Amino acid sequence: MKIDIYNQMGEKTGQAELPKEIFDVKLSKDLLHQVAVSQMANRRQGNAHTKDRGDVSGGGKKPWRQKGTGRARAGSTRSPIWKGGGVTFGPTNEKVYKKIVPKKIKRAALFMALTEKAKNNFVILIEDLKIKTAKTKLAAGILEKMPTLGKTTLIALPEMDNDFILASRNIDKTKIMQVKDLNALDVLNNKYLIMPKESIKVMQDLFIKEKK
C-alpha cells in the first residue's frame, strides 16, 4: 500500500510503500475489541473507595438494650441502615481491574488498528518532524498545515525527541508517543496517525524482525 509523503509545510513530496506485514492484515473485530477493553481496564486507577461498617468511626456502644423498648434490635450505630453508617457492597480501592493479554495478541490488534487507519487514509507520513526549540508555536505551526487540523491526532516518533514532545503536549486533541509504545487503544482513540518516514523503518525493526 502506498501513501503520500508531506514536508513540514504541508506539501506533498512523494509516496512511500507501507509494509504489508503491519499495514495490510486481516481484521478480527472480536480480537481488536478484546484488546481495547483490556487496555482500558489496565488504565483504570480504581480510586473509588467506600468504608464498610468496620472502617467508620464510632458505634462501639449499643444504642439501646436488646429487649423491652419496643424498637428493633440494634447493636451499633455504624450499621449500614443507620445514617453515618458503613456502606454495603460499595467500591473499594482494593479491587484489581488489570487484565493480562498475551504479547502476540496485543501486537496483532495493533497491526489491525494500523491497517484500518491506512485503508481509510488516516495515516500521514512526514519527511521529518524536527523543531529548533521546544516552542508550542513551532509544533502547532507544523500541524496546522496538515490535513489533521481540528481532529484528534496521534504522533508516533521514531525515537525520543524532548523538544518536540514538550512543544506539542499542550496542543489540543494531540497525543504524542514513540513508535515502540504504540498500542491498539491509542491508535483507535485518535482519528489520524502522523509519523515521520523514519518511524516506518523503526516499526519494521521492532515488530517484523522480532516477530520472526
pLDDT category of residue 4 using cuts at 50, 70 and 90: confident
Q: What's residue 36's pLDDT?
A: 95
The pLDDT tens digits of the residues spanning 153-178 come to 999 999 998 989 999 888 999 999 99
CATH number of domain containing 14? 3.40.1370.10
Instruction: Please measure the distance between the N-terminal and C-terminal CA atoms of the chain and give it in whole angstroms.
Output: 22
Enter the pTM of the model: 0.81
Q: How many domains does the chain have?
A: 2
Write out the residue range of the structural domain in which residue 83 sits.
Answer: 47-96
Share of the chain above pLDDT 90, in %: 61
Q: What's residue 150's pLDDT?
A: 81
Q: What's residue 130's pLDDT?
A: 86
Q: What's residue 209's pLDDT?
A: 66
Q: What's residue 63's pLDDT?
A: 92
- Over residues 66-76, the mean pLDDT reads 94
pLDDT over 90 at 50, yes or no: yes
**Is the same domain home to 103 and 148?**
yes
End position of a domain, from candidates 80, 96, 112:
96
**Is the same domain home to 88 and 115?**
no
Burial of 19 (0-12, 13-18, 19+ CB in 10 A): middle
Q: What's residue 52's pLDDT?
A: 92
End position of a domain, from candidates 96, 116, 131:
96
Q: What's residue 211's pLDDT?
A: 55
The pLDDT tens digits of the residues spanning 124-133 come to 999 888 888 8
pLDDT category of residue 80 using cuts at 50, 70 and 90: very high
- Over residues 195-205, the mean pLDDT reads 91
- Over residues 189-206, the mean pLDDT reads 92
**Is the same domain home to 56 and 134?**
no
Beta bridge partners of 192: 153
pLDDT category of residue 147 using cuts at 50, 70 and 90: confident
**Is the same domain home to 145 and 169?**
yes
Radius of gyration over every alpha carbon of the chain, rounded to an integer in angstroms: 26
Q: What's residue 210's pLDDT?
A: 56
pLDDT over 60 at 59, yes or no: yes
- Over residues 45-72, the mean pLDDT reads 91
**For residue 75, which of 83, 66, 67 has the smallest C-alpha distance?**
66
**Is the same domain home to 107 and 154?**
yes
**Which cell goes with 106?**
496485543
**Is the same domain home to 61 and 159?**
no
Q: Residues 125, 166: contact at Cβ < 8 Å?
A: no
